[in-house]
Amino acid sequence: MPKKLTAALLALLCGCSTTATISRKGGPTVEAKIQRSDREYLFVKTEDKAEAVIPRAEVADIDHPGNATAVLGGLLSAYGVLNIVSGLETCSESEGAVGVGYCTGMVLPAAVGAGMLIWGLTTWGNSLNAAGNNTSPAYTGVVPSPPSTSPFDFTPARGRGSLSALGTH
């Protein structure tokens, strides 16, 4: 793989962060890592490590990190697989240092692409889950009704005394 292409891929990987771009209605765009969320707020950590709360009502759109890296990794992996399929016979016939270099160069795009794909999907999924409303519903004040009594429940009813074997009181 040429040195310039390798350097470009490494720069791309190092330049990718885990911060989401949160577009707000009537407010500035925020670059931050989404820590968690509830029904009403996103709890984020900005690049200067400060924690902030963004009301969901102000959020217009969220661009989650990792999606571009996943797409590029998928394309590079596909190219790598095609490269391997087309050069498999030539690789097995090659000998010595030239053969090793050729075979390594043939497999490298698929390996780098698979790593990029996995990292991108993991980062994107983690951000998406953190922004989702994963919390349990808030307390509404409604008390659930008790379960109905079973016909096989032979315990005495409250305030009615005890039952005799004949069912008399």
Please report the domains of the chain, with CATH numbers, ordered by start residue.
16-131 (2.30.30.100)
Q: In whole angstroms, what is the distance from residue 159 CA to residue 102 CA?
A: 89
* Structure token digits, residue 56: 């969901």
Angle at alpha carbon of residue 22, lines to 20 and 137, rounded to 5°: 90
What is the SS3 assignment for the chain?
A: CCHHHHHHHHHHHHHCCCCEEEEECCCCCEEEEEEEECCCEEEEEECCCCEEEEEHHHEEEEECCCHHHHHHHHHHHHHHHHHHHHHHHHHHHCCHHHHHHHHHHHHHHHHHHHHHHHHHHHHHHHHHHHHCCCCCCCCCCCCCCCCCCCCCCCCCCCCCCCCCCCCCC
- The two tokens of residue 163 are 């039952």
For range 108-113, the mean pLDDT: 92
**How far apart are the C-alpha atoms of 77 and 67, rounded to whole Å?**
15
What's this model's pTM, rounded to 2 decimal places? 0.63
pLDDT tens by residue, 112-166: 999 999 999 999 999 999 998 655 555 556 666 666 666 666 666 655 455 555 5
Residue at 132: amino acid letter = G
The tokens for 144 are 């659930």
pLDDT tens readout for residues 55-91:
999 999 999 999 999 999 999 999 999 988 887 777 7
Most confident of 10-19, 87-96, 100-109, 112-121: 112-121
